[in-house]
Amino acid sequence: MSSALHRASVRALRTARSMTRAASTSNTLNSPATTSTATPDDADPQLAGYPQLPNVSRQTLPARGWWDMQMRRNMGDTLHEREELYSMWGPDVPHVDPNMALRHFTIVASGFVTFAFMCKYILTPEMPAIRREYPFDGLVKELGGLEENKQRVESQEEDE
């Protein structure tokens, strides 16, 4: 009696696990991180009959119910041809849509730039006095005659 109950529970667990995998596979195939440009009918000649598994990251699968819970796989599961991309050690699946992440980054960057301009132009006090102006074309001759040594030129219009 207990062995029949055990077999029934194992069968129910396998059915539930396959349903969970099918549900999570249908949700993750539409995400931008797992999109594949190849159609399932295109057979890669270098695979030589190796099974074409769906492009689903192991990070999107449920955490419990696996033989190896860390890698989220069962004993004897066929590895994907790109296991290094879809395993638990592969690149993380983004939780935020890339367009939304770009929008958030733009908002934060514009906030920082606005704060910097506010500190520069609004919070900086005015100079208590005007800058000094020099006669004779900004003391060009007195400073060696070079144009880059020229100081602030005294203007005649401001005096009048």
CA distance 52 to 43: 8
Instruction: Give mean pLDDT, residues 57-64.
Output: 88
Average model confidence (pLDDT) across the chain:
76
Domain residue ranges in the chain: 1-30+52-93, 95-124, 132-160
Helix (H) or strand (E) holding 112: helix 98-117
Percent of the chain with pLDDT over 70: 60
> pLDDT tens digits for 75-121?
998 888 888 888 888 888 888 999 999 999 999 999 999 999 999 98
Q: What is the length of the chain?
A: 160
Q: Is the dihedral of CA 20, 23, 26, 31 positive or negative?
A: negative
Confidence check: pLDDT of 27 > 50: no
Return the pLDDT at 28. 46
CA distance 68 to 21: 15
> pLDDT tens digits for 129-153?
888 777 777 677 677 766 665 666 6
Burial class (CB in 10 A: 0-12, 13-18, 19+), 91: exposed
